[in-house]
Amino acid sequence: MRRVSIPALLWASAAWSQAPDGYYQEANASSPEDLRQTVHAIIDDHQRVPYTSFQLDTWDVLEIGDEDQDDPASVTTIYRNSSELKQGGGNDFYNREHTWPRSYGFPDDDGRNYPFSDMHALFLADPDYNSARENRPYESCDTGCQELPTDANDGRGGESGEGSGGYPGTSNWTRGDFTDGSFEVWAQRRGDVARALMYMDLRYEGGSHGITEFPEPDLILTDDRDLIDDSRTGRNESVAYMGFLSTLLEWHAADPVDDIERQHHEAVFAAQGNRNPFIDHPEWADCLFQNRCQKQVQAELSGLWYNPSLDGEGFNVIVSEGGTTVFFYGYSAAGERVWLVSSLFEGQWEFDVPVSFTLFEGRAGTFDQPAAPPDGLGEWGTLILTFSDCGNGRFQLDGNDGAKDSQAIKLAGIEGLSC
């Protein structure tokens, strides 16, 4: 974990837009288990900022992190999106919202309670909207929900459900009480809330703080309402639940990271010394919570690949920042030499996931007088390429000269790149 001096708060939001070099160097996203173990170790054991203090406390940091981007003298509240003049701690205009309600696992702040004051999950909020949220789980509204409209501020919000053509508009929606109820965050802050709770799930895994040795709870996201309800005991618990995980994953995908969330993130990082991985790497949510992990294999696939069953046939695979291009050399059905070039694949490679290319062949031109596309290239057919690891794969050709399904073995790669 990296520590950042408190004066960095004064310039954190403007100075950083991504994690410092090497911060996630030890992260391994090849499986949910590896990701949880390696990234938890990176963000664990952060510097605790007092919840309330005569010196630097969470009020001070949140007034920087939640500063109104149109008015540095004001703050923006998370649910109402209202702009309020900065008042300092203990005012009547805004308070602090625990997105993971403290009543679910860590209600008592005795100066030793790390999740209670963890500002990755704390936001400034309108007091009435904070009370309306109460400690309901996050869930999308179905029927019978009360609307909590947003204010127009920072270029967004301000349209009620009625004014924007009905539910959901740019409003929050709530129904029921406690764990029997639900709270739906408005469209442009729901991703912030989702990533805050996913951070809490990853950061707090039980045990104790590695430096202070203060005990910490194991916080777990779930879709089980009974488990959530059982966590509301009125005392600090060793294990506690919150949700709903499936809803939070939907919100995470629907509301990507923006500058307002980054501003909050950088201010908290400057004070606590740890980051929210799901802001820096949104793709890790799929790996950790849905077992959809992208293998970190890209440029390592570049090189010469050959067909072991036919001499003189193979591929040149080039993977770069712009995407992947494949050059095929082989034989036609009549035994003549064929050189083909593929369309560009701009996605990310994963083992055992086939990728389809369109193949083109030259129809005119010579070395000294080449013909430019589209006159010089004609569509030949398709290539489906699948890599099972960094040295083996299969290719399927289907085009003007028939179809073929063959093994591919790597002959040579780029020096310095290995899986």
Boundary of a domain, candidates 249, 271, 290 = 290
Quick one: which H or E segment has residue 411? strand 402-413
Please indicate, yes or no, whether residues 259 and 308 belong to a single structural domain of this protein: no
Mean pLDDT of 383-409: 89
Among residues 412, 419, 410, 414, which one has the least CA distance to residue 308?
410
Q: What is the pLDDT of residues 122-148, one digit of tens each?
A: 999 999 999 999 999 999 987 889 999
Predicted pLDDT at 146: 93
pLDDT score, position 320: 82
Among 146, 183, 139, smallest CA distance to 167 is for 146
Domain match, 256 and 153 both: yes
Distances (CA, A) of 321 to 174, 324, 378: 44, 8, 26
Domain boundary among 290, 317, 349: 290
Pairwise CA distance, residues 345 & 403, whole Å = 21
Q: Which pLDDT belongs to residue 163? A: 47
Give mean pLDDT, residues 172-189.
94
Domain C-terminal end among 290, 308, 327 = 290
List the domain range (segments joined by +) for residue 97. 6-290
* Phi, psi dihedral angles at 233 (to 5 degrees): -105, -10
CA distance 117 to 351: 41
> Which amino acid is residue 83, in one-letter code?
S
- Predicted local confidence at residue 297, as pLDDT: 53
Contact status, residue 417 vs residue 389, Cβ threshold 8 Å:
no
33 and 147 in a common domain: yes
Residue 366 CB partners (closer than 8 Å, separation 6+)? none
In tens, the pLDDT along 23-73 reads 999 998 888 999 999 999 999 999 999 999 999 999 999 999 999 999 999
* Residue 1, domain member (yes or no): no
Please tell me the total count of domains within the chain: 2
pLDDT of residue 413 exceeding 90, the answer is no
Residues 21, 80 share a domain? yes
* pLDDT score at 311: 86
pLDDT at residue 312 in the model: 84
Share of the chain above pLDDT 90, in %: 65
d(CA 3, CA 195): 22
The pLDDT, as a whole number, for residue 330 is 83
CA distance 289 to 307: 39
